[in-house]
Amino acid sequence: MLPGYHMNKKHWNTIKLDGSIPEGEIQRMIDHSFALVIKGLSRKVREGMEVRHGREALYGGQN
């Protein structure tokens, strides 16, 4: 994993999909990023997404 070369290096990473990072770790990073985005949304927007997509789809049983 490398710092994102094109964005804020604190919040973005560049990963090479060359097999050096296990698939489970890549999925964990994606899930973590998604959770941060959802958490940052307003309550109204989150609730709308819950109605539209379902809580399980948004939170994966974690909330």
Which of 18, 21, 47, 7 has the alpha carbon at shortest distance from 59? 47
3-state secondary structure (DSSP) of residue 63: coil
Q: In whole angstroms, what separates CA 37 from the centre of its chain?
A: 7
pLDDT in tens, 18-53: 999 999 999 998 888 888 888 899 999 999 999 999
pTM over 0.85: no
Q: Which residues pair with 3 in a beta bridge?
A: 13
Domain coordinates of the chain in residue numbers?
2-59
